[in-house]
Amino acid sequence: MSLTLAPDGQSPASDEAVPRLSLTVAAQPLTQQIANHIRDQIIHDGLKPGERIREQPISEQLRVSRTPIREALQILATERLVDILPNRGALVANPGVEDLRGMLKVYSMLDGLGGELACLSAQPVQVAEVERQYNLLQVAFEAKDRSAYFQANQAFHLGIVAGSGNPTLVEIHGQLNLRLYRTRYLAVMQIKDWTSAAYQHADILKAFLDRDGPLLNRLLQAHLGFAWRQAEGVVETPALASA
Amino acid sequence: MSLTLAPDGQSPASDEAVPRLSLTVAAQPLTQQIANHIRDQIIHDGLKPGERIREQPISEQLRVSRTPIREALQILATERLVDILPNRGALVANPGVEDLRGMLKVYSMLDGLGGELACLSAQPVQVAEVERQYNLLQVAFEAKDRSAYFQANQAFHLGIVAGSGNPTLVEIHGQLNLRLYRTRYLAVMQIKDWTSAAYQHADILKAFLDRDGPLLNRLLQAHLGFAWRQAEGVVETPALASA
DNA sequence: CGCCTGCGTATTGTCGACAATATGGAAAAT
DNA sequence: ATTTTCCATATTGTCGACAATACGCAGGCG
């Protein structure tokens, strides 16, 4: 879960135990680690929409100077997960219902396109992974484990898009997915009737296995539109709106 | 064109001539200005794909410390216009033909969706703007002014998408457009037969004015696919590939 | 009584310096 | 002659300090 960030964590006498071979996987840049850290907190609702993100507290918690933190915030701002107000700091992005509706429109289109392309070019190992996630989905559903259900649901859909073999599509789809992540998570955890949407996955999987691209495209878009209509009521949490 | 960046450019005695009223448009953050500066150079081919971007020369040219430059590079890396190799600097992104093909697939899908939505919710002023750009397009075409043609073509397509009223769509579409900008520009400037694609704009405009969403969607996607097939030959410039 | 002004403080923005890492080439070894 | 090692140099990465800006509140003014 949480990153082991502090660079002063000295493994005893490990200076020679871990020589700087080029074979060794290079540690991720500090800026990226920090961006990942903050991003995780945002999508998992540790940092609430509209909440102020101050640099100094993060600097102290992670034992890092403000410089890489500011670089990380620029990344997250470009991903539209935070808003940076010049000279007034960074806020967790707080999209309104209308914004979320617009994002979902684009997202479902990309999701459908991903499915359609995946029917053409998904590798067997990718198909198998999607099937595996479908089974996990069913297990979680029958166990009424919403958290596991959400996780498998994520992996199921992302797995299909990955099958498209289109890196740009995967990237943009994934970025929009992050923007919608928190809302979708809260929706899945809260809505009363989560049975209907769950059953749609069987048809989706079948279309995928049949490699029926156009059908899968339609099913995915309809599925997301349906899930959204169920979630819409939950969204009405204006979060922090002061003054 | 080029930014007036140097903060030492003292307009004589303008300290009181431009008081810091809240009505005054706040100057764009330095980081953004630098990002815009580098972005412009990339898409206009001043910085070539694969070329190294060193921080110090930029720092000297713009009379700015490296800190905001690094922040700008993080932004551009998130936009996939540059690649940052940890400890080894930033390069101008250099997508291969396969990458470009994948981007264009997503781009045309978004373009088509934008057109379809625009048929539903474009404001009269937006429709008028698209018509205006269409006329500029025709003028430039008849004058064989490829540069003006490209510019009007850009504004024409972006104008349609803007009519969708979906900020997320506009943003993602615009970002992909930037990634493809240089290639499209070089293609328009180089291809021999640029008459065929030009004529398609008449049908596109008509479908838009008729508010025929599905038709416009199909026309736009076909249009981009066509333009791409014409451009494909031009793309074969592997740029810098040393060692 | 409410609003405007001015100042102290908190926070962001920028900088120069130093540390860490990679690069290229000369010298040495095979 | 070729490869390897080692070092000087160039470049990126991180930091602490300072500058610039915004915020909140006390005091004064209409």
Q: What is the DSSP letter of B192?
A: S
Residues of chain A positioned with their CB less than 8 A from the CB of B217: none
What are the tens digits of pLDDT across the range A13-31? 333 333 333 344 668 999 9
CA atom of B56 to C1′ atom of C17, Å: 15
Q: Residues B169, B91: contact at Cβ < 8 Å?
A: no
B8 Cβ contact list (under 8 Å, min separation 6): B63
* Tokens, residue A89: 């700091």
Q: Is the pLDDT of residue B26 over 60?
A: yes
* pLDDT score for A215: 98
Task: Give the residue-averaged pLDDT of B156-166.
Answer: 98
Contact criterion met (CB < 8 Å) for A167 and B79: no
In chain B, % of residues over pLDDT 70: 86
Which phi and psi (to 5°) does residue B191 adopt? -65, 145
For residue range A184-225, list pLDDT tens digits in order: 999 888 887 777 777 899 999 999 999 999 999 999 999 999
pLDDT value at B237 more than 80: no
- Each residue's pLDDT tens digit, B209-228: 999 999 999 999 999 998 88
Position A239 pLDDT exceeds 80: no
- Chain B closest-CA separation from residue A136 CA (Å): 30
Find chain A residues with C-beta within 8 A of B99's C-beta.
Answer: 167-168
Chain B residue closest in CA terms to A86:
B29
Question: Angle CA(A45)–CA(A30)–CA(B91) in degrees, nearest 5?
Answer: 110
Higher pLDDT, A228 or B128: B128
In the predicted structure, residue A92 carries a pLDDT above the cut 90: yes
Task: Round to whole Å and give the CA distance between B54 and B38.
Answer: 11
How far apart (Å, rounded) are the C-alpha atoms in residues B104 and B203? 21
Question: Does residue A241 surpass a pLDDT of 80?
Answer: no
Distance, CA of B64 to chain centre: 26
pLDDT at residue A27 in the model: 82
Residue reference for tokens 């025929």: B212
The string of pLDDT tens digits covering residues A26-72 is 689 999 999 999 999 999 999 999 999 999 999 999 999 999 999 99
Report CA dihedral (B185, B72, A29, A78) to the nearest 10 degrees: -80
Chain A, chain B: beta-carbon pairs less than 8 Å apart: 81
The residue ranking higher by pLDDT, B1 or B60, is B60
Cα A185–A187–A189 angle (5° rounding)? 70
